[in-house]
Amino acid sequence: PRVELAWAMKAHQHAQVYFNLISSVDPKFLSLTKVDDRIYQEFRESFRDLRVDVLDPEELKSEPAKAKWRPFCLRFEGVVEDFNYGTLLRLDSRREYTEENTIFG
């Protein structure tokens, strides 16, 4: 529980920074890492049918989902700093960050 709480606190700090970035810069011109294109390509290869506009928590947190996400994240060990940290995600990308619309993954 302490580790997850620490991750949640770090994720909240990152969310604030990233939200400020995407609110002030057109996201199509924004790179968060040097390997953004690789991450996206490998993400789409691993999760072809995953809807990213409206997320289903089961596709993120169920045991079968975790079995797919772990190997995907481990590909970026040593490539992306904090590759295995949690993040705050909006379940519905059209809505604001609220307690009901946010999941920690």
| Distance from C-alpha of 65 to C-alpha of 4, rounded to nearest angstrom | 18
pLDDT at 36: 92
Which has more confidence, 1 or 20? 20
Of the chain, the percentage scoring pLDDT greater than 70 comes to 100
Tokens representing residue 73 in the block? 């994240």
φ, ψ dihedrals at 102, nearest 5°: -125, 140
Q: Given this structure, which CATH class describes domain 1-104?
A: mainly alpha
Check: CB of residue 65 under 8 Å from CB of residue 99.
Answer: no
Give the chain's mean pLDDT.
88
Q: Is the pLDDT confidence value at 10 over 90?
A: no
| Distance from C-alpha of 62 to C-alpha of 78, rounded to nearest angstrom | 26
45-59 pLDDT tens trace: 999 999 999 999 999
Q: Which residues pair with 89 in a beta bridge?
A: 103
| Distance from C-alpha of 63 to C-alpha of 68, rounded to nearest angstrom | 9
